[in-house]
C-alpha cells in the first residue's frame, strides 16, 4: 500500500473547497471528522484548501485552520442560515481552477468549478433497504450526486464495485481513497476494575451490524466464564435486544456502556479482544482502531472488512455458528496467545493515516483532471 509522494501544491495548482453540507447537521461523527482531517492533511501538504462551513454546529472545526464559517454553540442551523451557507458555497466554491468536494450528499447544485467531487462511504441503505421505503429521498439525492460528479471517492474497493453494480457509475470515475484513523490518547479510566475481563463490541448494533446473531454465540462461549461482552456506544439495549438477552440467560454477561473517544481508546487498550459480526461494512473503522491500540480483532468476511484488515485479524463467516463460536474462543485465548497477530495489527493500522488519505485523494483529483 506504499506509493511515491504526490506533487505539492506548488506544482498542483488547484484550489480545493469542501462544502458546508455535513457541518450544519453533525456535531460529531465519522463523516465530519473525515472531512476535517482530510482538509488538515491537505494543508500539511501545501494544498490551497478551505472548508466553506458557514453557520455550523460541528466540534471538529474548533481550532481547525482555513475554515470559513461560524459555529453555533446553541440551537441548530435554521432554514435561512442554510440558504446563506448555500450562497457562500456558490460564491466561494466556484472557479475555473477549483475542485469543489461535497462533504455530504445534497440537493443543491454544484457551483461552476473545474472538478465536482463527492465521497461515498457505504451502500448500506441500498443493499439493506427499509421494506417500507426501498428508495428513500436520501438515496435518490446520493445517486444524483454521484451521477453528476466528475469524481466519486469511494472509501473501499467494495464500495467502488457496489456503486458500479447497483447504479452503473463508471469505474473510471470512482477512485478508492481509504480512510485514515485518528490517533486518540487513552483516558485514565480503568475498565477492567469496573467490568473485569471483557471482549469489546463498538458502535451501532441494528440492521446489518448483525448484533442479534452474535448473542447466541455469546451464550455458547461466555457462559460459565469470567469474560463479558462490553458494548461501547450505540446506546442502551433496545427492547428487542433485552428480551433476547433475557431469553438466552446472559444478562450478567453483556453490558452497555459509553464515553468519550479517549475512554474508547482506553477500552480498546484493556480489552482481551474486539468482535464485529457485521454483514456489510463500507470500510470498517473499529477493527483498525482496535489494532492501533493492541487489541486482537475477530471480524466477518463480509463487505470491505477483509480488504481493510488484511492478515491482521481472525476472519469468520457470520452465517456459520461454528465459525462465529470459534472466533469468540480464539479471542478468549487472550492477548498473550496472539502476540504475532497484535504486531501485524499495529503494522496494518499504521497504513491508515490521514496523510495517506490526502495523498490518495489528491491522486484522485489528478485522475479526474486527466479524463
> Is residue 142, in this structure, part of any structural domain at all?
yes
- Mean pLDDT of the 138-143 span: 94
Regarding whether 149 and 213 lie in a shared domain, the answer is no
Among the listed residues 314, 312, 318, the one whose alpha carbon sits nearest the alpha carbon of residue 281: 318
- pLDDT tens-place string over residues 23-53: 999 999 999 999 999 999 999 999 999 999 9
Among the listed residues 275, 276, 282, the one whose alpha carbon sits nearest the alpha carbon of residue 307: 282
Q: What are the start-end ranges of the H helices in 56-206?
A: 79-92, 124-127, 137-148, 157-167, 191-195
Regarding whether 76 and 38 lie in a shared domain, the answer is yes
Regarding whether 119 and 22 lie in a shared domain, the answer is yes
> Is residue 2, in this structure, part of any structural domain at all?
no
Regarding whether 133 and 207 lie in a shared domain, the answer is no
Q: Which of 2-6, 50-54, 289-293, 315-319 has the lowest mean pLDDT?
A: 2-6
Q: Which residues pair with 314 in a beta bridge?
A: 298
Give the model's pLDDT for residue 268. 98
Maximum distance among all alpha carbons in the chain? 67
Give the model's pLDDT for residue 224. 87
Give the model's pLDDT for residue 12. 52
In angstroms, the CA 127 to CA 159 distance is: 11
> Is residue 245, in this structure, part of any structural domain at all?
yes
Domain extent for 163: 9-180+353-370
What lies within 8 Å, CB to CB, of 87 at 6+ separation is none
Q: What's the structural domain count of the chain?
A: 2
Cβ atoms within 10 A of the Cβ of 366, count? 15
Regarding whether 167 and 52 lie in a shared domain, the answer is yes
Regarding whether 214 and 153 lie in a shared domain, the answer is no
Residue 94 near residue 253, CB atoms below 8 Å: no
> Is residue 241, in this structure, part of any structural domain at all?
yes
Regarding whether 234 and 175 lie in a shared domain, the answer is no
Under the banding of pLDDT at 50, 70 and 90, the label for residue 2 is very low
DSSP 283-307: S-HHHHHHHHTT--EEEESSTTHHH
Regarding whether 357 and 335 lie in a shared domain, the answer is no
Grid cell for residue 172: 473510471
> What 3-state DSSP class applies to 194?
helix
Regarding whether 213 and 120 lie in a shared domain, the answer is no
Regarding whether 198 and 341 lie in a shared domain, the answer is yes
- pLDDT tens-place string over residues 239-292: 999 999 999 999 999 999 999 999 999 999 999 999 999 999 999 999 999 999
In angstroms, the CA 96 to CA 311 distance is: 44
> Is residue 1, in this structure, part of any structural domain at all?
no
Give the model's pLDDT for residue 11. 36
Regarding whether 342 and 219 lie in a shared domain, the answer is yes
| % pLDDT > 90, the chain | 87
Average pLDDT of the residues of the chain: 93
User: Would you call 338 exposed, middle or buried from its count of C-beta atoms within 10 A (0-12, 13-18, 19+)?
Assistant: buried
Q: For residue 300, what is the domain's CATH number? A: 3.40.50.2000
Residue 134 above 90 pLDDT?
no
> Is residue 4, in this structure, part of any structural domain at all?
no
- Mean pLDDT of the 219-246 span: 96
Grid cell for residue 368: 479526474
> Which has the higher per-residue pLDDT, 109 or 276?
276
Regarding whether 199 and 155 lie in a shared domain, the answer is no
pTM, rounded to two decimals: 0.92
> Is residue 94, in this structure, part of any structural domain at all?
yes
Amino acid at each position: 500500500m506504499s506509493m511515491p509522494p504526490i506533487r505539492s501544491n506548488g506544482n498542483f495548482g488547484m484550489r480545493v473547497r469542501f462544502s458546508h453540507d455535513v457541518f450544519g447537521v453533525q456535531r460529531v461523527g465519522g463523516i465530519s471528522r473525515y472531512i476535517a482531517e482530510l482538509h488538515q492533511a491537505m494543508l500539511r501538504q501545501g494544498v490551497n484548501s478551505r472548508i466553506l462551513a458557514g453557520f455550523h454546529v460541528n466540534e471538529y472545526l474548533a481550532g481547525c485552520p482555513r475554515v470559513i464559517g461560524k459555529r453555533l454553540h446553541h440551537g441548530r442551523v435554521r432554514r435561512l442560515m442554510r440558504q446563506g451557507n448555500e450562497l457562500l458555497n456558490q460564491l466561494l466554491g466556484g472557479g475555473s481552477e477549483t475542485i469543489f468536494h461535497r462533504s455530504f450528499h445534497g440537493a443543491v447544485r454544484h457551483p461552476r468549478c473545474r472538478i465536482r467531487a463527492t465521497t461515498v462511504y457505504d451502500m448500506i441503505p441500498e443493499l439493506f433497504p427499509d421494506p417500507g421505503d426501498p428508495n428513500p429521498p436520501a438515496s435518490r439525492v446520493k445517486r444524483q450526486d454521484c451521477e453528476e460528479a466528475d469524481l466519486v471517492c469511494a472509501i473501499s474497493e467494495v464500495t467502488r464495485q457496489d456503486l458500479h453494480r447497483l447504479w452503473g457509475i463508471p469505474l473510471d470515475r470512482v477512485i478508492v481513497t481509504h480512510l485514515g484513523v485518528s490517533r486518540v490518547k487513552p483516558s485514565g479510566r480503568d475498565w477492567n476494575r469496573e467490568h473485569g475481563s471483557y471482549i469489546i463490541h463498538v458502535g451501532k448494533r441494528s440492521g446489518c451490524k448483525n448484533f442479534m446473531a452474535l448473542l447466541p454465540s455469546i451464550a455458547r462461549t461466555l457462559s460459565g466464564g469470567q469474560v463479558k461482552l462490553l458494548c461501547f456506544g450505540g446506546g442502551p439495549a433496545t427492547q428487542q435486544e433485552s428480551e433476547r438477552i433475557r431469553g438466552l440467560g446472559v444478562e450478567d454477561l453483556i453490558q452497555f456502556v459509553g464515553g468519550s473517544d479517549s475512554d474508547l481508546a482506553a477500552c480498546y487498550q484493556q480489552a482481551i479482544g474486539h468482535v464485529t459480526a457485521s454483514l456489510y461494512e463500507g470500510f470498517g473503522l473499529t477493527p483498525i482502531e482496535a489494532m492501533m491500540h493492541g487489541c486482537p480483532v475477530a471480524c466477518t468476511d463480509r463487505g470491505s472488512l477483509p480488504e481493510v484488515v488484511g492478515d491482521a485479524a481472525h476472519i469468520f463467516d457470520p452465517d456459520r455458528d461454528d465459525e462465529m463460536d470459534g472466533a469468540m474462543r480464539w479471542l478468549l485465548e487472550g492477548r498473550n496467545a496472539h502476540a504475532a497477530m497484535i504486531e501485524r495489527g499495529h503494522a496494518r493500522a499504521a497504513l491508515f493515516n490521514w496523510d495517506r488519505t490526502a495523498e490518495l485523494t489528491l491522486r484522485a483529483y489528478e485522475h479526474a483532471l486527466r479524463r
